Amino acid sequence: MADVAASLTALAALPGVGARIEAVRVACTELRWHEALRRRVPEAAAESRVRGAQASAALDGASIGVDRVRDVMRGATGWADVPDPAEQVVRGAVQATAESEHVRSLVRTAPMQALARLHVAAAAGLVPPEQLGRPRVGDEDCAELVDLGTAPDPAVVSARLAGLADVLATAGSAPAVLVAAVVHAEVATIRPFVRGNGIVARAMERVVIHATGLDPTGVAVPEAGHVAQGGPAYVGALAAYGLGTPEGLRLWLEHCCDAVVAGAQEGVRICDAVRAGRLR
């Protein structure tokens, strides 16, 4: 565990990363003390999940209007009886982002359980029931995120997931945004599941940011921060992380820090809308 903490400390010392971590702290502090959050946290957090789900689906290539996502998440409308492929992705993003609210107590003590629950939410209806909530086994492969290269074999996945649990156990002794960034990249890079990995990776990032107290209200929208930088930049930063070089790691960490700053600013806009009564 000490080695993991030392590795995260080394990441924080990479050129430019420390300044980005401080920018995240400032942005999240500004959000935390917004006037609207004195009494209306649930309303603002619910809207954050709406925008987060919409953005996460967009990063998987499925665009749908935020009003439609909001109506589904508040129960005002439902999904099509026979959803098209894009709607299937959006439904997974909606379900995983909603589930992120319920697994934050598990992320440090039972991280694999949290990961499994998010995958069940993200991939229900997309994979056979026996593949839900468990990593790939045997000759099972993953055809997602092909720009990151070939998905590792299940044996490699198992070892990397064990390391991921160690990273999450260090939360509290390392900058939360770094823990969230590493968790996000590891899930996306190793692709432990047959389908749904990107959505699960982004939901885990949201959970870590909330559970560690970086964004204790759950109102930031880190998924929107990734979208704001563009899909190619997001995939390119993940690919850079996969190289394992100091420069590649720095690029991904800076990308994630910038995404959380933008996500906190989106949270401020949500709070402004809540205070003005524009979301009712």
pLDDT digits (tens, 9 = 90+) for 160-169: 999 998 898 8
Given this model, what pLDDT does residue 27 score? 98
Q: Residue 48 CA to chain centroid, in angstroms?
A: 13
2-276 CATH pick, 3.40.1440.60, 1.10.3080.10, 3.30.1490.100, 1.10.3290.10: 1.10.3290.10
Strand partners, 174: 171
Is the predicted pLDDT of residue 2 greater than 70, yes or no?
A: no
| Residue 279: pLDDT over 90 | no
Report how far residue 77's alpha carbon sits from residue 68's, in angstroms, rounded to the nearest whole number. 8
Exposure string of 89-120, with b = 16+ CB inside 10 Å and e = fewer, is bbbbbbbbbbbbeebbebbbeebbebbbbbbb
CA distance 280 to 278: 6
114 touches 81 (CB < 8 A): no
Q: Which of 275, 255, 270 is nearest to 54 (CA)?
A: 270
> In this model, does residue 61 exceed pLDDT 70?
yes
Domain layout of the chain by residue ranges: 2-276
The DSSP call for residue 181 is H
End-to-end CA distance of the chain: 47
Nearest by Cα to 8 from 216, 231, 163, 153:
163
Structure tokens at 91: 């439904």
Kindly report the pTM of this predicted structure.
0.95
3-state secondary structure at position 212:
coil
* Cross-strand partners of 124: 127
Q: 58 pLDDT exceeds 70?
A: yes
User: Nearest 5 degrees, angle CA 63-CA 66-CA 71?
Assistant: 120
